[in-house]
Amino acid sequence: MLETAGDEFLWQGRPFRIVAGAMHYFRIHPEQWTDRIEKARLLGLNTIDVYVPWNAHQPRPGEMRFDGILDLPRYLGLIAEAGLKVLFRPGPYICAEWDGGGLPAWLTSDPSIKLRTSDPAYLKAVDEWFDQLIPVIEPFLAHHGGPIIAVQVENEYGAFGDDEQYLRHIVDGYRRRGITELLFTCDQAHSEEMLRNGGLDDVLRTGTFGGKVDTALATLRKIQPTGPLMCAEFWNGWFDHWGGPHHTRDGRSAADDLEKLLAAGGSVSLYMFHGGTNFGFTSGANLKHAYEPTITSYDYDAPLAENGDITRKYELMRAAIAKHVPVPDQPLPAPAPTVGHSGIVLDSAVSLLDVPGTPVESAEPLTMEALGQADGFVIYRTTLPEAGPTVLTVTAYSDRVQVFLDGNPAGLLERSRHERSLPVVASRPGAELTLVVENAGRVNYGPGMLDPKGLLGPVTAGGAELSGWTQTAVPLDDVTGLPFAPAGTRLPIGPTLRRGEFTLDTVADSYLALPGWERGAAWINGFPLGRFAARGPQRTLYVPAPVLKAGVNEIVVLELQASSSDTVDLLPEPDLGIVAD
Ligand code: GLA
């Protein structure tokens, strides 16, 4: 068992240093888990840091998923087989640039619940989740001979609140359900207040930071006079928002700071060792002065690239680690092969407005979550009573509204630009108003996590409230059976799903480029590659080799706006965009 003694960790009674790296199973194709774990071992890591996304495992109350990319027991088993240990971080909140920070949509849309506090309604949901999760991972706890040596309580809680009773409830909940392993909290180490508020005096405090190692460790030491010094998230890269620059961190600077941390006797978890991809609609968003959704790639400029390739940063960090703990004396694997295929024609189409769904009628618009849906789109329909020009105001929505009048494009409102009104012209009384409302990702950090999607308030025309709505949820969780029809070479006028086929002789990793396409999402062989947007920074989407087939492959692209092309390309190289200064 892992214990602390004085300023050290002890494993089976002997001094032990945790050299871990974060790697999220839910961001890696399951057929690539073994490869990534092996590369963690070769870096010299002895532990993998594993978050658990509650919202993915429990999309609806009472419904549990542990299959495919969510097969947590299989992932933990593979880590154990590789001889590595696990830092287990089940939240229940995980942040992680993940939709809603891992909190399920049915909680983040309910204004009556105080998230991440000791509000009984929130704790009841947490308890029901842990009642399901903990028996599943129990065999993997160290006291049963499994790899989980320590378990985190909440996540950077001091950056959010100071409800000690809530933290205590999580600790007691772990203990009551049979977790006897070492517990820890993590908080931003440059803030004494966060370190203080986010922890409990009988639970090990750890810090999260990427630089200024000496000050971070000194602050942690001040708040916690004894105990092992640990950086639970050493930020060796960073993430990107749509429309922003691509963030990188110099490998030398990351390796030097890691070296400093290890030289000071610290334990560490690299955030991220391997970032992976926000497949489908899983990426989160930030909300400060404006709403900023996170991109699809979670490459993070981590030591192991999005496609699992070893980078220069990996080599520099491996050399730093080797000075302090044994690193396997084995050659490093060569880069993964890649494949390209230009000019894939998307020659059939279906309008997003024609995707089958169940229309629900109501006087006032219903939110996405009230329709029982978490991701994708809601299509709202009503009529404008009068002909002529008017001001259409959508008083509250998340996150993007495309407006159509009698089926013709009539404008766009974006939450990220704080827009609510636009001029429209109805050509007749009773013109059909259609609003396509997109969920672009739930806020995963800070006070803005109550983040319901869809229409959230009245819609007015010329100041008069519109009523009599029909709304259809369009989750796009399965695009394989949609009613595509031949589109010839007609260019997509959005929002349209386009479909095409391409043939490959050999299967390897690839990168989907969509030059001339504006904004949407893509799937290959039914696998959701994620969202794309012309404004970048990323210009390609990672296509994991196991998604592709030798022979005929099917691609589906959703274009929300309009495209000047009816083809897309598979490229052999990624393009994550222009780097921030
Ligand atoms: C914090 C969180 C992580 C992640 C990083 C930024 O440290 O704990 O989940 O959001 O910030 O990537």
pLDDT in tens, 516-574: 999 999 999 999 999 999 999 999 999 999 999 999 999 999 999 999 999 999 999 99
| Ligand 1 atom closest to residue 188's alpha carbon, by position in its atom list | 7
What was the pLDDT predicted at 352?
97
Nearest CA to ligand 1 atom 11: 96
CATH number at residue 13: 3.20.20.80
131 phi and psi, to 5 degrees? -60, -30
Distance 156 CA to ligand 1 centre (A): 8
Please tell me if the CB atom of residue 95 comes closer than 6 angstroms to any atom of ligand 1.
yes
Distance 95 CA to ligand 1 centre (A): 6
Beta strands across the sheet bearing 567-571:
341-345, 567-571, 510-513, 540-543
Distance 438 CA to ligand 1 centre (A): 25
What was the pLDDT predicted at 78?
99
| Ligand 1 atom closest to residue 101's alpha carbon, by position in its atom list | 9
Kindly state whether residue 107 falls inside one of the protein's structural domains.
Answer: yes
Query: Could you tell me if 244 and 117 lie in one domain?
Result: yes
Task: Give residue 493's pLDDT band: very low, low, confident or very high (50, 70, 90).
Answer: confident
**Regarding beta strands 148-152 and 85-89, do their DSSP bridges make them parallel or antiparallel, or are they unpaired?**
parallel
Question: What is the per-residue pLDDT across 11-55, written as a single tens digit (0 to 9) for each?
Answer: 999 999 999 999 999 999 999 999 999 999 999 999 999 999 999
Question: What is the per-residue pLDDT across 370-425, written as a single tens digit (0 to 9) for each?
Answer: 999 999 999 999 999 999 999 999 999 999 999 999 999 999 999 999 999 999 99
Q: Which residues are catalytic?
A: 156, 233
The answer to whether 450 and 381 have CB atoms below 8 angstroms apart is no
What single string gives the DSSP state of each residue in 349-365?
EEEGGGS----EEESSP
Kindly state whether residue 533 falls inside one of the protein's structural domains.
Answer: yes
Please tell me if the CB atom of residue 28 comes closer than 6 angstroms to any atom of ligand 1.
no
pLDDT at residue 581 is higher than 80: no
pLDDT at residue 488 is higher than 90: no
Kindly state whether residue 576 falls inside one of the protein's structural domains.
Answer: no
Please tell me if the CB atom of residue 298 comes closer than 6 angstroms to any atom of ligand 1.
no
Query: Could you tell me if 37 and 158 lie in one domain?
Result: yes
Query: Could you tell me if 177 and 292 lie in one domain?
Result: yes
Query: Could you tell me if 418 and 564 lie in one domain?
Result: no
Kindly state whether residue 336 falls inside one of the protein's structural domains.
Answer: no
Distance 96 CA to ligand 1 centre (A): 5
Which of 26, 50, 97, 187 most suits a substitution to test ligand 1, by most atoms within 8 Å of the C-beta?
A: 97
Question: What is the per-residue pLDDT across 378-388, written as a single tens digit (0 to 9) for each?
Answer: 999 999 999 99
Contacts 24+ apart (CB under 8 A), 311-317: 311/251, 312/251, 313/236, 313/237, 313/249, 313/251, 313/254, 313/255, 314/39, 314/43, 315/251, 316/251, 316/252, 316/254, 316/255, 317/43, 317/236, 317/251, 317/254, 317/255, 317/258, 317/270
| Ligand 1 atom closest to residue 300's alpha carbon, by position in its atom list | 12
Distance 106 CA to ligand 1 centre (A): 23
| Ligand 1 atom closest to residue 155's alpha carbon, by position in its atom list | 8
What was the pLDDT predicted at 566?
94
Query: Could you tell me if 155 and 270 lie in one domain?
Result: yes
Query: Could you tell me if 190 and 237 lie in one domain?
Result: yes
Domains held by the chain: number: 3
The answer to whether 542 and 277 have CB atoms below 8 angstroms apart is yes
Please tell me if the CB atom of residue 97 comes closer than 6 angstroms to any atom of ligand 1.
yes
pLDDT at residue 454 is higher than 90: yes
- Apex CA 290: angle with CA 105 and CA 400, to 5°? 60
Query: Could you tell me if 303 and 382 lie in one domain?
Result: no
Alpha-carbon distances of 164 from 66, 158, 173, 200, 232, rounded to whole Å: 31, 10, 14, 7, 21
Among 428, 456, 474, identify where a domain stops: 474
Q: What is the mean pLDDT of residues 354-368?
A: 97
Task: Give residue 494's pLDDT band: very low, low, confident or very high (50, 70, 90).
Answer: confident
Query: Could you tell me if 383 and 315 lie in one domain?
Result: no
Distance 448 CA to ligand 1 centre (A): 16
Task: Give residue 275's pLDDT band: very low, low, confident or very high (50, 70, 90).
Answer: very high
Tokens of 450: 């109550």
What single string gives the DSSP state of each residue in 461-509?
ETTEEP--EEEEEE--S--TT---EE-TTPPPBSSEEEEEEEEESS--B
Which of 157, 206, 208 most suits a substitution to test ligand 1, by most atoms within 8 Å of the C-beta?
A: 208
Please give the single-letter amino acid code of residue 80. Answer: A
Kindly state whether residue 331 falls inside one of the protein's structural domains.
Answer: no
Give the span between the Cα atoms of 228 and 201, in whole angstroms.
14
Give the span between the Cα atoms of 56 and 75, in whole angstroms.
15
Kindly state whether residue 10 falls inside one of the protein's structural domains.
Answer: yes
Question: What is the per-residue pLDDT across 166-182, written as a single tens digit (0 to 9) for each?
Answer: 999 999 999 999 999 99
Nearest CA to ligand 1 atom 6: 96
Query: Could you tell me if 390 and 504 lie in one domain?
Result: no
CATH number at residue 389: 2.60.120.260
| Ligand 1 atom closest to residue 444's alpha carbon, by position in its atom list | 10
Query: Could you tell me if 185 and 74 lie in one domain?
Result: yes
Which of 94, 233, 270, 299 most suits a substitution to test ligand 1, by most atoms within 8 Å of the C-beta?
A: 233
Distance 576 CA to ligand 1 centre (A): 20
Q: Residue by residue, what is the 3-state secondary structure of 31-80?
A: HHHHHHHHHHHHHCCCEEEEECCHHHHCCCCCCCCCCHHHCHHHHHHHHH
H-helix or E-strand spanning residue 341? strand 341-345
Tell me what percent of the residues of the chain surpass a pLDDT of 70.
Answer: 100
Kindly state whether residue 65 falls inside one of the protein's structural domains.
Answer: yes
Query: Could you tell me if 536 and 567 lie in one domain?
Result: yes
Identify the domain containing residue 79 by its residue range.
2-322
| Ligand 1 atom closest to residue 51's alpha carbon, by position in its atom list | 9
Please tell me if the CB atom of residue 185 comes closer than 6 angstroms to any atom of ligand 1.
no
Among 440, 474, 508, identify where a domain stops: 474
Nearest CA to ligand 1 atom 10: 96
Q: What is the mean pLDDT of residues 465-487?
A: 96
Distance 221 CA to ligand 1 centre (A): 21
pTM of the model: 0.98
Kindly state whether residue 577 falls inside one of the protein's structural domains.
Answer: no
Please tell me if the CB atom of residue 156 comes closer than 6 angstroms to any atom of ligand 1.
yes
Distance 67 CA to ligand 1 centre (A): 26
Query: Could you tell me if 445 and 556 lie in one domain?
Result: no
Please tell me if the CB atom of residue 239 comes closer than 6 angstroms to any atom of ligand 1.
yes
Please tell me if the CB atom of residue 96 comes closer than 6 angstroms to any atom of ligand 1.
yes
Tokens of 126: 């947490």
| Ligand 1 atom closest to residue 94's alpha carbon, by position in its atom list | 9
Tokens of 32: 């690539």
Tokens of 176: 């009551």
Question: What is the per-residue pLDDT across 305-345, written as a single tens digit (0 to 9) for each?
Answer: 999 999 999 999 999 999 999 999 999 999 999 999 999 99
Q: Report how far Cα 406 is from the mean position of its chain's Cα atoms.
A: 36
Q: What is the mean pLDDT of residues 221-231?
A: 98
> Which residues, in sequence order, are bridge partners of residue 44?
none
Q: How far apart are the first and last CA of the chain?
A: 45
